[in-house]
Amino acid sequence: MSYETLDLDSIKMENPYLRIGTDVSTLEKSIGTVGLIAPLIVNQDNILLAGARRWQALKNLGHTSAPVIRVDKDSLQQELISIDENLVRKSLSNPEMEAHLLRAKEIYLNLAHEDSDFKDTLMKKRQSRIDAGEDNTSEDQSTELGVEELVVSEFAKEVSEKSGLSSSQVLKAMEREEKSSDELRQARNEGQVSVSQANEVIRLEHADQAKILPHIEGRTVSELRKLVKKAKTDGVEEALLSHEQLPHAREFRDMIKFFKKTLKISQTLELEGIVAEGKFKSDLEKIWPEIVKNMDSIIETDSSHYLGSHSEHSFEQESSFN
């Protein structure tokens, strides 16, 4: 592939996909040590398609020109080049990257429908995988694939190879973007909803996603999964009523889990006739009264009365803890 040299100031930074204003100090050190490894990519109008961070690093280092690859592609293929530059550099859990993924898939579909050469290339890549034993699809099944199924499958595999993620992760990222409401996207951008939580919420219609978002905080993924399942069958309002979450539920669950473990350990020690001695005993003697005092306050009871009236009960009556 032939390169040409272009003045940095003549390169137009008009591409919305360019990552401008990011920290390029590490890249500057790399260029200063080994030089520029990958050239910039521009179109016929000198608009930068890929390499904004390299362009910025070169400018910061005082360079006035750079090697470029000039491409002569249609607008969709130019957009694909810009998206591809970003996909290998950011986490696919990032909502912005999920949007880029979905847009790239749309471009693949358009090109496959409009450009027979592009479709043939995808089919050849798939056939090569089958021949190499990297795809379980039989040759007969491969020829029967619809355009959309072919595109989605091959696109996911290509992104997987570039990003190091599995094809299923790529497909799930696109599904999150495709099924997320505007409210869910905003919540994710603000860090209020995790990827795992979003995977559950997208099972709901957009209107129901907006209703359930204020009630996500503090719920585990397992709890949220049950809530969403209930909402799908009985509606969000009914689901929220039946899964009403008490204040500080997570703290109480963590505390109960800790006490269950502590009780089992103490039962084992008691059964084996082991008593605390030395520093262990002195530390426990300091901690235990404080725990009893705090627990009396939290559950609004008198521990001496409670222990006296329940001393004969064993932990086998565990249902009250669940």
Residues sharing a CB contact under 8 Å with residue 150, sequence separation 6 or more, in sequence order: 112, 119, 122, 123, 126
Question: Are 128 and 209 part of one and the same domain?
Answer: no
Question: Are 131 and 199 part of one and the same domain?
Answer: no
The reply to whether 276 falls in a domain is yes
Q: What tokens does 91 get?
A: 């986490």
**What is the pairing mode between strands 65-70 and 4-7?**
antiparallel
- Of 65, 68, 58, 62, which is closest to residue 27 (Cα–Cα)? 58
According to the model, what pLDDT value does residue 95 have?
A: 84
Cα distance between residue 284 and residue 280, in whole Å: 6
Which segments of the chain have a pLDDT < 50?
Answer: 138-142, 309-322
According to the model, what pLDDT value does residue 92 have?
A: 53
φ/ψ (deg, to 5) at 51: 115, 25
According to the model, what pLDDT value does residue 188 have?
A: 92
Question: Judging by beta carbons within 10 Å of its beta carbon (0-12, 13-18, 19+), is residue 226 exposed, middle or buried?
Answer: middle
Question: Are 317 and 281 part of one and the same domain?
Answer: yes
The reply to whether 185 falls in a domain is no
The reply to whether 234 falls in a domain is yes
Q: Domain of residue 291: give its range.
A: 249-321
Beta bridge partners of 12: 47
Domain of residue 32, CATH code: 3.90.1530.10
According to the model, what pLDDT value does residue 218 have?
A: 79
Question: Are 174 and 104 part of one and the same domain?
Answer: yes
Q: What is the pTM of this model?
A: 0.59
Domains contained in the chain, number: 4
Number of residues in the chain: 322
Cα distance between residue 154 and residue 130, in whole Å: 12
According to the model, what pLDDT value does residue 317 have?
A: 42
- Of 183, 182, 163, which is closest to residue 173 (Cα–Cα)? 163
According to the model, what pLDDT value does residue 259 have?
A: 92
Question: Are 12 and 40 part of one and the same domain?
Answer: yes
According to the model, what pLDDT value does residue 136 have?
A: 60
- Of 226, 174, 253, which is closest to residue 215 (Cα–Cα)? 226
According to the model, what pLDDT value does residue 64 have?
A: 94
- Of 8, 23, 68, which is closest to residue 41 (Cα–Cα)? 68
According to the model, what pLDDT value does residue 245 have?
A: 60
Secondary structure of residue 93 in the 3-state scheme: coil
Question: Are 254 and 229 part of one and the same domain?
Answer: no
In order of 9, 69, 179, 225, 244, the CA distances from 257 in angstroms are 63, 60, 36, 21, 20
The reply to whether 140 falls in a domain is yes
The reply to whether 102 falls in a domain is yes
